[in-house]
Chains A and B, each alone.
Chain A
Amino acid sequence: MTGVPLSAYLVLALVLFCIGLYGALVKRNVVIVLISIELMLNAANINLVAFSKFGVTPSITGQVFSLFTITIAAAEAAVGLAILMALYRNRKTVNVDEMDSMKH
């Protein structure tokens, strides 16, 4: 297990985050956007776990923190999906471009 260096974790997290950011900013389907946001959250989790093992002062705190994040992310996904359902019932669309009613 010791063969994998810290930088590999960080690069993986970076790649995941970039994919997530790209998806969140570019994808039209609102479900994909939600999934991309989950990806970004998990990229952050990987960072936390990696630093809890290879950080300057390794401790269990990073792993506990990532558990919290996963819990919050689950709740967030539930609320987000509920909003999406309600939105779909009203607007009959999952296209992000059409969801622009919050403007002047």
Chain B
Amino acid sequence: MMENAWLIPIFPLVTFLVLLLSGRRWREQGAYIGILLTLASFILSLLVLIERFKEPTYKVTIDWLSIGGTQLTAGFEINQLNALMLVIVSLVSLLVQIYSKGYMYGEERFSIFYAYLGFFTFAMLGLVMAPNLLQLYFFWELVGVGSFLLIGFYFYKQEAKKAAKKAFIMTRIGDVGLLIGVILLFWETGSFEYGEIFQAVQAGEISVGRLTLIAVLIFIGAVGKSGQFPLHTWLPDAMEGPTPVSALIHAATMVAAGVYLVATMFPLFLASVTAMHVVAVTGGFTAIFAASIALVQKDVKRVLAYSTISQLGFMMLALGTAGYVAGVFHLMTHAFFKALLFLAAGSVIHAIHTQNIEKMGGLWKRLNWTGPLFLIGTLAISGFPLLSGFFSKDEILMSAWEHGDYLLFTLAVITSFLTAFYMFRLFFMIFAGESRSSVNQVKESPSIMLLPMFVLALLAVISGYIQTPWFGTFLGDWLVEGNEKLLGASHNEGPVWIMFMAVFVSLAGILLAYMMYAKKKIPRDWLFKENSKLYKVIDNKYFIDEIYFFTVGYAIKGFSLFLSYIEKFIVGGLISTVTSSIEGLGKIGSKLQTGQVQQYGMIAFLGLAVLLVIFALTGGYLR
């Protein structure tokens, strides 16, 4: 089955092409094509994953280009991480496409939406199958394009247009880092192939300084894609896209691409202590930074966006503290419960037509299905015991502890407290208390939207059990199988009290949110008032956007103004001088042509006379 794995990304590509060509005619029927082809992708991915359990890594490459003595290859590779990612991506994509059939119903550009979804899924599946860095980079950029198209789907909305541009440019900044890193790596090792690169790294062929530089540059690419500080600002704005897109791109796939990149290049990072530290610190800081912003946001999707950034920070923290398995594990569980949360939030928005949580409330009784589903997602992300998020977050905390980085460990613990708090704040604001909405007719979403949420809720509950301290570490054992030297341990052993503390902080967060937002025993502004300075700073996302606007934005504007003046006056002036002088010469020349034949005759005669005089004086020889 694995030799047919190349078909997996082809199916969504066919969706894209078919719907682009004839989608207008089919309108809503186009969804079936998308869903069926993605289903084919998913089934194939699942078969590949099952086969991968027993068989070794499968890799096919063909020569693509040969430049001098260098062979560039293209192909695909199915190792453990790739197989896992294939299933995650195709499953979430499939569920999102089913969901969209209900959510996007009545949309005029319905088939275009499915075409874009197909394109994005193709790019993402291609990305996780790439056997070398060059191919990965191609698909990496395609993913960016797909995300641009989907975020800007409502292009007639000014904010959506801006958000799409911002997402594209911010991730491009990261991409430049990745590109430079890839080129440097090629320079050092002469190859784009993962295997050869890791061999060169293992053999110590690259100096540590250069290695650190390369790893950090590649990490910058991951920072851009995964919305890590300081390139995180595009992700909250990207919420202007349709909600299913947020679930697909900004929960499970594209933002996970950065984590996937670091995981794929993990041996490279492991070889440089500094690079690992950079990854860990960036991840840890982003986690708590984004979590603090999520505390005060009032837009349901923005809260989820900042929560995504924060969770991605967790994954980076795990990877940076050598917790390869922990990072990948959390990537998987997060894909499920965050997609669930986004879809449930979409269902709420679908029902009540607002995204402002201040205007929601008392929806628990009215949305009989969405409410419990949302609760499952919230519990999972908060690290409530026995749900998937609990196990994966535990792994990360253990990893941070074992690595001996106690500051980052403390940050992670505080972040899990904040996570539990802001997620339940969101939950209680939406579902508890009195209805604050003027909308009387709140209808539950159709079953085609509920079905994907059920699947995701199921996974959000059970997917944690493949890697637990009690029932064995199946996922970890499998992931590092055959690569123990490269990837590290399959499981992090930590003191038992960490687990109890994780449970305690998450319960404390939930309790605090319950007291503040459901029971209202504690006033909402008991810690700091809404008009206090600190609140304003956090509410404005630490003014990061403004800082960028006034520093980078103005610097670039000033520089481009300077360049435009150079263009206008120096370059333009030079060229207009040349043209005008030649034009003047031409004008003088044309004045000589008067049409007076006698004048011409006179000049010819005088010329002859001059020649004769010269001839007479010199005797015919010019010396």
Contact = CB atoms under 8 A, between A and B. Distances in A.
Interface stretch (B184-192, B309-317, B577-585, B588-596): B588-596
Interface stretch (A6-14, A19-27, A45-53, A60-68): A19-27
B601 to A, nearest CB: 5
A21 to B, nearest CB: 7
Interface of A: 21, 24-26, 33, 96-97, 99-104
Contact of B598 (A26, A101, A103, A104): A26
B597 A96 contact: yes
Contacts of A25: 598, 601-602, 605
9 contacts: A24-B601, A25-B602, A26-B598, A96-B596, A96-B598, A99-B597, A100-B595, A101-B595, A104-B590
Contacts of B605: 21, 25
Given A21-B605, A33-B598, 20 more contacts: A24-B598, A24-B601, A25-B598, A25-B602, A25-B605, A26-B598, A96-B596, A96-B597, A96-B598, A99-B597, A100-B594, A100-B595, A100-B596, A101-B595, A102-B595, A103-B593, A103-B594, A103-B595, A104-B590, A104-B593
Contacts of A96: 596-598
Contacts of A21: 605
B343 to A, nearest CB: 77
A96 B599 CA distance: 11
Contacts of B596: 96-97, 100
Determine chain B's interface SS by DSSP, over half rule.
Answer: helix
A70 B601 CA distance: 23
A38 to B, nearest CB: 15
Nearest to B604: A25
B106 to A, nearest CB: 69
A24 B599 CA distance: 10
Contacts of B601: 24-25
For A21, A24, A100, A104, the residue with the greatest tally of chain B CB atoms inside 10 Å of its CB is A104
B609 to A, nearest CB: 11
Contacts of B597: 96, 99
For B595, B601, B602, the residue with the greatest tally of chain A CB atoms inside 10 Å of its CB is B595
Nearest to B589: A104
A29 B597 CA distance: 13
A103 B594 CA distance: 6
Question: Which 8 residue pairs are nearest across A and B when measured between Cβ atoms?
Answer: A100-B595, A103-B595, A104-B590, A103-B593, A102-B595, A25-B602, A25-B598, A25-B601
A83 to B, nearest CB: 13
Nearest to A101: B595
B586 to A, nearest CB: 10
B392 to A, nearest CB: 85
Contacts of A103: 593-595
A88 B590 CA distance: 27
A33 B595 CA distance: 16
Nearest to B602: A25
A48 B605 CA distance: 22
A15 B124 CA distance: 99
Interface in B178-200: none
A102 B596 CA distance: 8
Nearest to A102: B595
A102 B595 CA distance: 5
Contacts of B590: 104
A102 B601 CA distance: 15
B550 to A, nearest CB: 59
A10 to B, nearest CB: 16
A18 to B, nearest CB: 11
A66 B524 CA distance: 125
A80 to B, nearest CB: 13
Nearest to A21: B605
A32 B601 CA distance: 15
B603 to A, nearest CB: 10
A103 B602 CA distance: 17
A38 B605 CA distance: 17
A103 B601 CA distance: 15
A103 B597 CA distance: 10
A24 B590 CA distance: 24
For A21, A96, A99, A103, the residue with the greatest tally of chain B CB atoms inside 10 Å of its CB is A103
Contacts of B595: 99-103
A3 to B, nearest CB: 31
Contacts of A99: 595, 597
A100 B605 CA distance: 20
Interface string B592-623: 01111110011001000000000000000000
Contacts of B593: 103-104
Nearest to A103: B595
A28 to B, nearest CB: 9
A62 to B, nearest CB: 23
Contacts of B594: 100, 103
A37 to B, nearest CB: 10
B254 to A, nearest CB: 65
A102 B597 CA distance: 9
A101 B597 CA distance: 10
